[in-house]
Amino acid sequence: MASVRRLGAFLGEVRTEMKKVTFPSREEVVGTTGVVLITSVIFAIFLWVADVVILRLYNGLNNLLLGQ
């Protein structure tokens, strides 16, 4: 019986805490999603450019040192 009371108390606390929660509006969700998508694309482009530059530097150094 004690576990049933503890469960009831826990669920009561959950209900109290859920009343304090504020959920974002649709406009806020759309706005932050756009920011995340744009940031992800910019970061992906940056990583691609960095990868190309490092690869070309590596190949150039490799050709210079090994004479291939």
In a domain, 44, yes or no: yes
Residue 55 has phi, psi (to 5 degrees) of: -65, -45
In a domain, 1, yes or no: no
In a domain, 17, yes or no: no
| Distance separating alpha carbons of residues 3 and 14, to the nearest angstrom | 16
Can you give the pLDDT at residue 49? Answer: 99
Provide the whole-model pTM. 0.65
* Averaged pLDDT for residues 5-32: 96
Give percent above pLDDT 90 in the chain.
91
In a domain, 35, yes or no: yes
In a domain, 64, yes or no: yes
Q: In this structure, are residues 62 and 68 in contact, taking their beta carbons and an 8 Å threshold? A: yes
In a domain, 55, yes or no: yes
Structural domain harbouring 60: 23-68
In a domain, 62, yes or no: yes
Does residue 1 register a pLDDT over 80? no
